Chain A
Amino acid sequence: MIKKVLITLMVLAFSVAMFAGCGTKTTTTAAKVGTAPEGSEIAIEKATMKFIKDTNEGKYKLLSTEELNTWIGQKKDMIIIDTMPADNFAKGRIPGAVNAELPKTVMADVTDAQKAVFIKLLGQDKSKPVVVYCGFVGCARSHLGAVIALEQGFTNVYRVPGGIIAWQEAGYTVEK
């Protein structure tokens, strides 16, 4: 009798294990989809909304990471300004870039000293392309830089949305 019960229990346990195994195999996790599957879509939307608002208000042009790399390859005569803090700039920048830190908030937060350094880097040739970048799409430093350049009368002002993070992700040369 005991032997029968034991055999029944073993068969039951084996069946449960088998079904559980089948279950694991069939319940595969669906791959996440989205603009950047590893990222949060809501965060991307939020950054996009702000980016479009800034771009519309700023009235500057946009330049992609890939386009900037082409321009650098063509040795185009331009000024590239990195608006990240100096320690970030020292750790890695787009080749040929110069540094003028700007705040990541609003124009009212730009100090006189920051503005003076930025304007000095622009030089005198108002038709020369000015390319401004910062960290990534959600970063507003480059927006402020592009607006200051336009205010100073520069006519070819570009903002690179993806900044240094996109540049690194693209695998392009980083200057240190």
Chain B
Amino acid sequence: MVAILIMVTFLTGCRSSTDSFITEEVNPNIDVLGIKLDMPESKVHESAGSKGEKAMCVYGYEYEYADKHINIGFKSDKGTVRRITTKNPDTSIYGIMPGTDLLNAYNQIEANGFTKNNNSNYKFYKNNIIITIISMKDTLADGINIEMDPDQN
């Protein structure tokens, strides 16, 4: 019994640290129409102001809100947000707005403690979160993608 209690406490502790990183650090840095990681699908539609167009993904499913220039990925088991992709210049992730100079975007990401992936110039990691910059001509950050690492969540 004691062993079970210790185990539950330990597991809860692990989960909480991941959750608190998302709720306390990551989500406050996401300014995309009020949409946050882990948000339930119904709230996302409400924030986006429409239902968008659904499509299946390897990791769950997604809704494309073409008029808002955003695409939101969901976990199939929980129906909560696992990825936010924006090309909307009125939005920002970690202060980076689509259209920002690429080098400034890199500096901003690294200043927030993200580490560049060895195999990609556009991918950055911190704990269980991945930020990917979409750059059409290698000069601007035309889009920003933030997601929960599917292998860790």
- By a beta-carbon cutoff of 8 Å, the part of chain A in contact with chain B is 43, 84, 86-88, 104-105, 109, 111-113, 135-136, 138, 165
Contacts and interface: CB of A to CB of B under 8 A. Distances in A.
A84 B151 CA distance: 16
A112 B137 contact: yes
A165 B57 CA distance: 11
Contacts of B58: 84, 88, 135, 165
B98 to A, nearest CB: 13
Nearest to A84: B58
Given A86-B119, A86-B120, A112 B56 contact: no
Interface in B110-141: 119-122, 134-138
A133 to B, nearest CB: 13
Contact of A136 (B56, B119, B151): B56
Given A86-B119, A86-B120, A138 B138 contact: no
A165 B56 CA distance: 12
B55 interface: yes
Nearest to A86: B119
A88 B57 CA distance: 12
A105 B57 CA distance: 12
A113 B135 contact: yes
Interface string B60-77: 000010000000000000
A115 B136 CA distance: 10
Contact of B138 (A87, A105, A113): A113
Output the residue of A87, A88, A104, A136 with the most chain B CB within 10 A: A87
